[in-house]
A and B are shown apart, each in its own frame.
Chain A
């Protein structure tokens, strides 16, 4: 099974942030860059599935040349090749534009006999949090889509059916957490899946992996011009709240005061 995983270079924030001069982006200053936890899991899922089915994993992103760092990082944990849809200004693209650009790349590769059975995306990007690129991509490609999926498995039942077919499996089982427990879907291929963190443990790169990544093939294609554009007008930071914390004390001696508070809050049954 050949799998395309879409990732996005995002600032690696964990603390205080500030805005840049334009007011449309955060100040990247000394920040490092990464991909979201969802995407890390998507890469891991893809590597496991492709490994089990003798397939290949391609990593794709839309961004500037800087995003090669993230492509290589994903290659280092087991992907085989990568595609950079290059644009000088990824911030000009709206979710529809990104979905279209990815779909174009998928179609182009299919014409080149490099079709993919599955396209994985992160459930939502760590920076823009749009929650829609995967679904829009599925409509662009006319493929079924699932979001919030934590695990993909080759279903035993499906495997029997697939054994009769030529080539790889024609469906997978997808697991996602629903309101009443883990929902299991039968997903016919080819499909699009938006992966949610939690089902697999992304691996760290090994040294051979990192060295292989350095040499792995990387396709660079020009991004189509954005049509819809990014609807963002500005970013705002939440107002800084001065601390109003009441320190009840230090160490175990303060336990009594805390139990009093729990009582006041009405949660001490």
Chain B
């Protein structure tokens, strides 16, 4: 059997609260299309698909999960799991986990953390950022996306996370998922590390970046901390967000929350406009989910230009200023 931990959107999500997170929908689809293999069988077999939701289960989420082909929903809710505690949540998942097969989540920070706990508690092996599976094992991203690792996990039960954008969510004939409700009580040990408060500071907020339809990226080519006026204006024109490369945050030009890449946010906008970014692997790892990439760079041979769909060769300040002007002109 395969159990997928599903994350529900919070109140800050653009689509409002209570839906199934995109990455979780991806993970459920990944599980549904591979249930038999994940359960230790062959591709021809079919095997039940279960999910676990912690906290509120909205109608919207239930409906979405039905369309994603889920057979059973474990709805876990109790005062002990209202605030996030990885240990308590992990134990709740362990309580509903199968004895053989797979426990999995999407490769979000929370998914990673919970699966590590689950694996440790179950004595199971774990593979992070899986992108494909077949009878011979998994393929997963390593080296920040620069390479893939082929591996085989031993044991009756395995734990994994699915890399963001490894597959697109795919609707199927709606199911009538059975809903099992659980009200776990956490042990004192599992409540040692609970969120005591949440601080919402604009500088820390990455949600705009990860949810934006358009991201304007800026790299070393911007030149200085004072050089962001044009790119910010462009992001504003397009209702998008600013994302920056690691060098920009290392130089202290912009806050870390705006960083896109292996050690920053991974984004999947409709359009990513990379301005003065050469395209190091670590950055590429964060932007490869974009549907269309536009690069503006002085060096035609830069990786980012070569991998883009569209490019303009030139100084980003001059080019972006001209784009802003053109957009303004057309809107007049």
Q: Which chain A residues have a beta carbon within 8 Å of chain B's beta carbons?
A: 13-15, 17, 19, 26, 36-38, 94-96, 124, 126-132, 134-136, 138-139, 144-148, 150, 173-174, 176-188, 191, 196-199, 201, 228, 231-238, 241, 243-259, 261-262, 265-269
Total number of B residues with any Cβ neighbor in A under 8 Å: 99
Q: Are A147 and B280 in contact (CB under 8 A)?
A: no
Q: Are A182 and B199 in contact (CB under 8 A)?
A: yes
Enumerate chain B residues within 8 angstroms of A241, measured Cβ to Cβ.
307
Residue of B nearest to A132 (CB): B116
Main DSSP-derived SS at the B contact region: mixed
A251 to chain B, nearest CB (A): 4
Enumerate chain B residues within 8 angstroms of A38, measured Cβ to Cβ.
263
How far is B214's CA from A196's CA once the two chains are assembled, in angstroms? 26
A226 to chain B, nearest CB (A): 13
How far is B196's CA from A244's CA once the two chains are assembled, in angstroms? 50
Cβ of B94 < 8 Å from any Cβ of A? Answer: no
Q: Are B314 and A235 in contact (CB under 8 A)?
A: no
Q: Are B192 and A188 in contact (CB under 8 A)?
A: yes
A145 to chain B, nearest CB (A): 7
A204 to chain B, nearest CB (A): 11
Number of A-B contacts (CB under 8 A): 270
Interface centre among B87, B127, B319 (most CB of A within 10 A): B319
Other A-B pairs, 19, CB within 8 Å; known A178-B84, A247-B313, A267-B240: A13-B143, A17-B143, A17-B281, A126-B143, A129-B143, A132-B119, A135-B120, A180-B11, A185-B194, A186-B194, A187-B192, A198-B257, A201-B252, A231-B137, A243-B305, A244-B309, A252-B314, A267-B238, A267-B271
Q: Are A258 and B257 in contact (CB under 8 A)?
A: no
Enumerate chain A residues within 8 angstroms of B327, measured Cβ to Cβ.
259, 262, 268
Q: Are A181 and B205 in contact (CB under 8 A)?
A: yes
Q: Are A250 and B313 in contact (CB under 8 A)?
A: yes
Cβ of B75 < 8 Å from any Cβ of A? Answer: no
Find B326's partner among A182, A235, A255 (CB 8 Å cutoff): A255
Q: Are A26 and B323 in contact (CB under 8 A)?
A: no
Q: Are A146 and B128 in contact (CB under 8 A)?
A: no
Find A235's partner among B109, B137, B149, B313 (CB 8 Å cutoff): B149
Cβ of B246 < 8 Å from any Cβ of A? Answer: yes
Q: Are A246 and B310 in contact (CB under 8 A)?
A: yes
Enumerate chain B residues within 8 angstroms of A258, measured Cβ to Cβ.
294, 310, 312, 319, 323, 326
B263 to chain A, nearest CB (A): 4
Enumerate chain A residues within 8 angstroms of B7, measured Cβ to Cβ.
179
Interface centre among A124, A256, A262 (most CB of B within 10 A): A262
Q: Are A146 and B193 in contact (CB under 8 A)?
A: yes
Assuming the A-B contacts A262-B238, A265-B270, are A94 and B193 also in contact, with contact meaning beta carbons closer than 8 angstroms in the complex? no
How far is B256's CA from A182's CA once the two chains are assembled, in angstroms? 13
